[in-house]
Chain A
Amino acid sequence: MRRLKSFGAFWYDFIIGDDWHVAVLVGIGLALTAILTHVARVNAWWALPVFVFAALAWSLHRATANKR
């Protein structure tokens, strides 16, 4: 069980890293892009970059807000 946990922790750290909010925001961005493209028929090429930049800024803000 402990080995399974450490195996899971390794892959979580490898893929998700220090801030899981980044992965969630990228996931939401991809889902929204797919909905806009396939349901609303909008070629939303701009949507994912917006979420990616927002994820970076938000994560940096969270990491630095209470430091120093």
Chain B
Amino acid sequence: MNALPLILTVFVACVVEAVEALTIVLAAGITREWKSTFQGMGVALVVLAVITAAVGPAVGYLPLTALRLVVGALLAVFGLQWLRKGVLRATGYKALHDEASAYLREVAAAREAAVEKKRGVSDWYAFTLSFKGVLLEGLEVIFIVITFGDNQRDVGAAVIGAAAAIIVVTVTGFAVRSPLTKVPENWMKLGVGVMLTSFGTFWGAEGAGVAWPGHDAALLVLVPVVALVTAACIAWLRSREAAAAVPAKKSEVVGS
């Protein structure tokens, strides 16, 4: 397979994660203290590097069929979680993930917390906030890079996509010194959900012994089909919502 779709898929997925991590780091740095925030971020990056060094090569030694079965299953479940949340947000059943309000919530909590010096860190709250945010979002980035990279036997291309995403988001975020609210996060998450589900289904079925018609070209059909099914789910929930609203209006007329 050409490396470009792999790079683009990993890039978009990692942009979403990087935006979320940046929101937390900015909230900690601007309202508390930059030194402790950077310390937290640095320690999280070291932990992530250790995890990558431990897990990455081990995954590479697994036989490709077993790897595709396990990773395909994980990616399909992971992707379906994203699709589920994205569809629920697109239809109003779940509140839209808004980086601006997430940032304000973090800022309010950070302002209320007391300053505590601990283990050589001058502001423990800023340190832990930054550490947790970078570690959690970083774990998702590692998961995506390792699974996509190992499955395509092209970890380098996956790393390029992830690194580009992190650099673009970090440079932009620190340049504007505010959360990236203009990023259409929900639609990007839906797009990433479509890609993760499609790749997961493709690799999972291959791992189970299937030979896809057209081999890798089947992905060119599978991705649009998953996108169409997602769009159909959004339309279905919206029409159900509209159908539920009509009898309510009728009963109001009858009753009035």
Contacts and interface: CB of A to CB of B under 8 A. Distances in A.
Main secondary structure on B side of the interface with A: helix
Contact of A38 (B76, B201, B209): B209
A2 B229 CA distance: 41
Contacts of B80: 22, 26, 52, 55-56, 59
B77 A37 contact: no
Interface centre among A19, A26, A34, A37 (most CB of B within 10 A): A26
Given A52-B76, A60-B84, A60-B88, A34 B208 contact: yes
A41 B80 CA distance: 29
A67 B244 CA distance: 11
A34 B244 CA distance: 41
Contact of A26 (B204, B207, B210, B236): B204
A48 B204 contact: yes
Interface string A7-33: 000000011111100110011001001
Interface of B: 69, 72-74, 76-78, 80-81, 83-85, 87-88, 91, 93, 139-140, 197, 201, 204-205, 207-213, 218, 222, 225-226, 229-230, 233, 236-237, 240-241, 244
Interface of A: 14-19, 22-23, 26-27, 30, 33-34, 37-38, 43-45, 47-49, 52-53, 55-57, 59-60, 63-64, 67-68
